[in-house]
Amino acid sequence: MNNKTIFCKITYIFIGDVYLSIIKYSTKEKNLLARLMRAEALGEGDLGMLMVGNVIVNRALADCLTFKNIRTITDVVYQSPGGFVGVNSSLFVGNPTAKELSLANRILRGEYYHPATNALWFYSPKKDEDCLALWYEQRNSGRYKNHCFYIPQSGVCRQIH
């Protein structure tokens, strides 16, 4: 296993004792986020699910590339084409656990984890395969377990850089 340092950037916004979110969401959307994080990265552990959550929220924040009319978590989850294969997984079905909701809350409050900090895409290469340097013309920002993360060129998606 490759031991690499994982960097975390946390952006919490408070008004009094209340956390503000980095994106507007409903209870239903928080559940969608938690379910998709589980479906895409349960085998990657908590940190892997948090990184997938970063990509999901980044897509809602970005106003660029194929995400110009994507503004909500629901839009991101069900985007077609270009959505997530996890929506077709049996892991996507059913209510999220308390732990999964807690992970989703952390993402909604602004926790970011490298290499997913500015990522809009990820994929899982075949076993024993390295991450591609470029994937659909996007630069690799790093790997965590079996997920390779990809970021747009600097300046293209200003909302996430």
- Confidence band for 8, pLDDT divided at 50, 70 and 90: low
Q: Provide the Cα torsion 125, 160, 108, 103; round to 10°.
A: 30
Three-state DSSP class for residue 26: coil
Higher pLDDT, 20 or 120: 120
Predicted confidence (pLDDT) at residue 95 exceeds the cutoff of 90: yes
The model's pLDDT over 47-91, given as tens digits with 9 standing for 90+, comes to 999 999 999 999 999 999 999 999 999 999 999 988 999 999 999
**For helices 98-108 and 27-41, angle between their N-to-C axes, nearest 10 degrees:** 110
The model's pLDDT over 104-150, given as tens digits with 9 standing for 90+, comes to 999 999 999 999 999 999 999 999 999 999 999 999 999 999 999 99
**What is the C-alpha to C-alpha distance for residues 161 and 121, in angstroms, rounded to an integer?**
15
**What is the C-alpha to C-alpha distance for residues 94 and 90, in angstroms, rounded to an integer?**
8
Place of tokens 């630069």: 139
* pTM of the predicted protein model: 0.89
Enumerate residues 6+ apart whose C-beta is below 8 A from 155.
161
pLDDT at 9 (0 to 100): 56
Higher pLDDT, 128 or 18: 128
| Residue closest to 25 by CA, chosen among 85, 84, 87, 71 | 71
Tokens for 155, please give them.
Answer: 């300046």
- Confidence band for 25, pLDDT divided at 50, 70 and 90: very high
| Residues 140/43, Cβ–Cβ less than 8 Å | no
